[in-house]
Amino acid sequence: RAKERGGDRIECFTATLSQNSLERQELEQCLRDALRNGELQMYYQPQFFMDGRLAGAEALLRWNHPLLGPVPPVKFIPLAEENRLILPIGEWALRESCRQMALWQASTPDPLLLAVNVSALQFAHGDWDTCVVKALEDSGLAAERLELELTESLVMRQGHEDVEPLHRLREIGTRIAIDDFGTGYSSLGYLQRLPITTLKLDQTFIAALQAEPPEMSSEHIVRAVIQLAHSLKLTVVAEGVETEGQRDMLELLGCDCLQGFLLGRPLPADGFEALLESVATRRFLGTRRDPEAE
């Protein structure tokens, strides 16, 4: 910006810096009020099995500020992590999405999975597994229906004693996913050490599957990750699937589940409910389909 305006670069740079920190402070104050004022919302992005059946949803936070408009997660989640607001916000996100999924689960015979993102701070917090158990109990959602998404960097940072809550949660049936798999540390030792059930292949690998010119290496990486996962009896979810070509390739490579704009964007609760209804309608029509009409 300093370069565009010309003039005294250092002065402009300083002005930009302090303006940014002012914005940050304002944003921080707004975020403090957001939870209380009901400005936070959960969105649900559908996940599908390779045969097209609905597998469940990833719960994603959305913040719509009355004046600022929608603030993207990449902007407010790092901020919330710095000032520890992610603790109450993360707890609310967990409880709200469990409550919602338990209601949906009660209205459909198909088992649905709810994936919830967990930040490093929540993980480091002593009683976070108690918090999860409480959210399950209060909502009535079965532990097997919940998948906690952790990042590689988070998992690598933990000492042995800190992963105890993870083992306790896995013991009651909760699923544990590694989010953005392949972008963090290269050590794979934690796959042995931790009770992981799912790898979520990062969208950068998926995007590279359809790159022009084609990147053969990413195809090999995706193939290898899927083989590794399956030999460890883990489920593989591909994130950020945007094209038919990517889906076809992932099917060929033996991926288990898909998530991405091709199949469905994150939806507010009523939007996801409409999706559930259309799934139910299709099933109903499917069972009474006239064979002569085929």
- Residues found near Mg ion in the complex (CB under 5 A): 117, 149, 179-180, 239
Beta bridge pairs of residue 57: 46, 114
Tell me how far, at minimum, the Cβ of 113 lies from ligand C2E, in Å: 15
- For residues 58 and 47, what is the distance between their CA atoms, to the nearest angstrom? 7
CB 156 within 8 A of CB 190: yes
Contact 45, 237 (CB under 8 A): no
Query: By rule CB under 6 A, what string of x and - marks binding of each residue 166-205 to ligand C2E?
Result: -------------xx----------------------x--
Nearer to ligand C2E, 226 or 241 (CB): 241
Binding of residue 77 to ligand C2E (CB under 6 A): yes
Site string (104-143) toward ligand C2E, x via CB under 6 A: -------------x-x------------------------
Token pair recorded at residue 40: 């936070």
Which x/- pattern over 10-49 shows residues binding ligand C2E (rule: CB under 6 A)?
A: -----------------------------------x----
- Per-residue b/e over 173-197, b at no fewer than 16 CB within 10 Å? ebbbbbbbbbebeeeeebbeebebb
Q: Does 72 bind ligand C2E (CB under 6 A)?
A: yes
Angle value at C-alpha 54, between 244 and 152, nearest 5 degrees: 80
Residue 69 near residue 51 (C-beta atoms within 8 A): no
Rule CB under 6 A: is residue 93 a binding residue for ligand C2E? yes
Touching ligand C2E, residues 264-293 (CB under 6 A)? 266
CB of 222 to ligand C2E, least distance (A): 15
User: In whole angstroms, what is the distance from residue 199 CA to residue 181 CA?
Assistant: 6
Among 30, 54, 55, 90, binds ligand C2E (CB under 6 A): 90
Rounded to whole angstroms, the Cα distance separating 136 from 169 reads 11
254 touches which of Mg ion, ligand C2E, none (CB within 5 to 8 A by kind)? none
One of 40, 55, 61, 141 touching ligand C2E (CB under 6 A):
61
Beta strand 54-65 with 69-71 is antiparallel
Contact between 160 and 120 under an 8 Å Cβ cutoff? The reply is: no
Residues binding ligand C2E (CB under 6 A): 45, 60-61, 72-74, 77, 90, 93, 117, 119, 149, 179-180, 203, 239-242, 259-261, 266
